[in-house]
Amino acid sequence: MKRRQLYTGVVALAASGVVFVLPFLFIFITAAKTKQDAASLRFSLPVEWRLWENFIEVLQARNYMLLLAYFNSTVITVVAVTLLVLFGAMVGYVLQRRPSRWNTVIYGCVLAGLMIPPAVVPTIWVLQSLGLFKSISGMILIQVAYGLAFTVLLFRSFIATIPRDLDEAAIIDGAKPLQIFFRVVLPLLKPVTVTVIVVQSIAIFNDFTNPLYYLPGRENVTVQLTLYNFQGQFQTQFNLLFMNILLVTIPPLIVFVFFNRQIVAGMTAGAVKG
Amino acid sequence: MTSVVLDNVRKSFGSLDVMKGVDLTIDAGEFCVFVGPSGCGKSTLLRIISGLETSSSGKVFIDGKDVTDAEPSQRGIAMVFQSYALYPHLTVAENIGFGLSLAKRPKAEIAEKVKQTADILQLSHLLDRKPKALSGGQRQRVAIGRAIIRNPKVFLFDEPLSNLDASLRAQMRMELTELHAKLGATMIYVTHDQVEAMTMADKIVVLNGGTIEQVGTPMALYNNPATPFVAGFIGSPKMNLFEGEAAKRESCKTYGIRPEHISLSTTDGKWHGVVRHIERLGADTVVHLDLPELPSLVVRTEGDRSISVGQTLFASPFKSKEHRFS
């Protein structure tokens, strides 16, 4: 039994190594190669380590476009996630705490938001008629709309675990509905809020297709779109492309490493009574 | 002077009538206990007084003012919940001062009042702790502190001791009674435990099925229960209640006699029966007798009496202590 456990453990480790670690290593060593060396796309150590030079070159490419992209992506991510947490928690709170005939309708809308696939062209029409197409704020609203359904469900199930007595104690203490929400309920949502922040900020930061559709324009570039800088119709600079991938991967990685434990805590909290 | 007046208060959830017209007057400074079995509407009545629940019809007056439509915070009440309902993310001091900080009072005033309250409840050394680092009794005291600091006209307690263990409960009963004497405020206390009702109350309100069965002092309810329900609910062990043939022989609909008002004898008595079960409590012994013509009879007798199961005994009620309900 023990030996068998050892074997399965080794096999599982090897499999996850192949799936997760090898690609990352490949990115790293290719990012350190020269242009010619990288073009062969072989899994070998670089002939000449050019990590720093490649880094500078990627940074300076197209007039420091990567920095602008970092700025844009950060603005979109931070604002969108803030709105998601705020609205998700509020909708979840009202859905859970105030039963009314409208709840079924709202709940139906939330589920529809999860089930109905987004249509790109009509969305662009709407954005154009609102004057939000090609704008950062339009992009933020789209990310909020895409993420809200899942966020509401997550918050709603978590709020169900907060005893109603707390709301009532606050009412007796003289709290208005908004005060109950911000001073009693929201602080208690911390575990699930961390989950939402991590999951959504990584999803939004790493989003490639939505900025591609809804946010064209050189000044609107987001980090994932900078990958196009080094990938042309006739030639691709693989060393710089992979250096770019490496740089773009680092922020979500840091977030994940720090919040790893809380994510799981928030995901399972409310599933079982603790 | 009256403090709380309920005027024909009714409450229904859909087609279910929970409160069926309750009229009640509670005097200022009184310790009033609502007691009754689960689902009798005692907590609903308390929540109607607090304003957390609205009555379907009828009026609620607190301190002479009609508060039927007033917000809970406008009623001059404070409430202690069964689950304590402490805010888990705030310290003890912040929990106690929460109401004042909502009212945007100056920090120094809040700190001063929190300190005073903590002194009354011996919580001063715990002010920086979070609720999860407190014991059950300490949490209870914090919940009471949160009520005291509001300086309310009426305190409402919703089964506050039911989460505590037996010895702590006895201690908290005493502390609450002392607190009542110290503050002199009106207190309304909901419990299903008749011991709490008897030991703490100035006035007991016995509720059953959404109506008031009887209102009175503990001893009045014990000595002169108005209905068989009250008779059975107040006092432990329960009063022996006989219906049907046995009651008819006593020329009433229900005949009641308390276990402590029956004398046992080995030679003669009104009833005779076989001992089925004996509970030794130390100071007292509770004897369960099987009677041929009646349902079983419970008798409370002195602790050191030698009785054995299967023995035949005679029992006689004290004449002046019999209860006949028609």
Of A267 and B199, more confident: B199
ipTM entry = 0.85
Distance between CA atoms of residues A119 and A213, nearest Å: 11
Q: How high is the mean pLDDT of chain A?
A: 89
Nearest CB among B73, B78, B83 relative to A165 is that of B83
Across the range B91-98, mean pLDDT stands at 94
Strand bridging mode B57-62 / B2-13: antiparallel
Q: Which domains does chain B have, with CATH numbers?
A: 2-232 (3.40.50.300), 239-325 (2.40.50.140)
Which two three-digit tokens encode residue B40?
């009798």
Contact A260, A192 (CB under 8 A): no
For domain A65-268, give the fold: MetI-like fold (1.10.3720)
Cα–Cα distances (Å) from B226 to A48, B220, B248, in that order, read 101, 10, 19
Domain extents in chain A: 65-268
In chain A, what residues touch B83 (CB-CB under 8 Å)?
163, 165
Q: For residue B14, what pLDDT is reported?
A: 86
At B276, the pLDDT band (50, 70, 90 cuts) reads very high
Q: For residue A272, what pLDDT is reported?
A: 45
Share of chain A above pLDDT 70, in %: 95
Q: For residue B293, what pLDDT is reported?
A: 75
Which two three-digit tokens encode residue B91?
């310290």
Distance between CA atoms of residues B111 and B106, nearest Å: 9
Distance between CA atoms of residues A149 and A162, nearest Å: 21
Q: Is B88 on the interface with A (CB under 8 A)?
A: yes
Distance between CA atoms of residues B278 and A100, nearest Å: 55
Q: Tokens 């000044």 correspond to what residue?
A: A219
Q: From the CA atom positions of chain A, what is the Rg in Å?
A: 23
Q: Where does chain B show beta strands of DSSP type E?
A: 2-13, 16-27, 31-35, 57-62, 65-66, 77-80, 154-158, 186-191, 203-208, 211-216, 240-243, 254-257, 262-265, 271-280, 284-290, 297-302, 312-317, 323-325
Q: Is A274 on the interface with B (CB under 8 A)?
A: no
Q: For residue B250, what pLDDT is reported?
A: 83
Whether residue B226 has pLDDT greater than 90: yes
Contact A70, A223 (CB under 8 A): yes
Question: How far A269 CA lies from chain B's nearest CA (Å)?
Answer: 16
Residue A263: how many other CB atoms lie within 10 Å: 19
At B167, the pLDDT band (50, 70, 90 cuts) reads confident
**Which pLDDT tens digit goes with each residue over B101-117?**
998 999 999 999 999 99
Distance between CA atoms of residues A194 and A263, nearest Å: 7
Q: Is A171 on the interface with B (CB under 8 A)?
A: yes
Q: How high is the mean pLDDT of chain B?
A: 91
Nearest CA in chain B to A164: B85
Question: How far B73 CA lies from chain A's nearest CA (Å)?
Answer: 5
Across the range B258-271, mean pLDDT stands at 90
Conformation bin of residue B221: beta by default, left when phi > 0, alpha when psi is -120 to 50 = alpha
Across the range B55-67, mean pLDDT stands at 92
Q: For residue B261, what pLDDT is reported?
A: 94
Q: At what angle do helices A238-268 and A22-31 cross, to 10 degrees?
A: 150
At A267, the pLDDT band (50, 70, 90 cuts) reads low
Q: For residue A274, what pLDDT is reported?
A: 36
Question: How far B295 CA lies from chain A's nearest CA (Å)?
Answer: 44
Distance between CA atoms of residues A234 and A230, nearest Å: 11
Across the range B21-30, mean pLDDT stands at 93
Whether residue B201 has pLDDT greater than 90: yes
DSSP conformation class of A118: P
- CA angle centred on A183, ends A178 and A189, rounded to 5°: 105
Supply the pTM of this predicted model: 0.83
Across the range B80-98, mean pLDDT stands at 93
**Which pLDDT tens digit goes with each residue over B288-323?**
999 887 778 999 999 888 889 999 999 999 989 999
In chain A, what residues touch B78 (CB-CB under 8 Å)?
172
Q: Is B94 on the interface with A (CB under 8 A)?
A: no
Q: For residue A56, what pLDDT is reported?
A: 92
Contact A150, A114 (CB under 8 A): yes
Share of chain B above pLDDT 70, in %: 99
Q: Tokens 């297709």 correspond to what residue?
A: A209
Interface residue of A165, A171, A173 to substitute, partner B, most B CBs within 10 Å: A173
Across the range B258-280, mean pLDDT stands at 91
Of B277 and B293, more confident: B277
Contact A202, A184 (CB under 8 A): no
Residue A171: how many other CB atoms lie within 10 Å: 21
**Which pLDDT tens digit goes with each residue over A66-98?**
999 999 999 999 999 999 999 999 999 999 998
Whether residue A166 has pLDDT greater than 90: yes
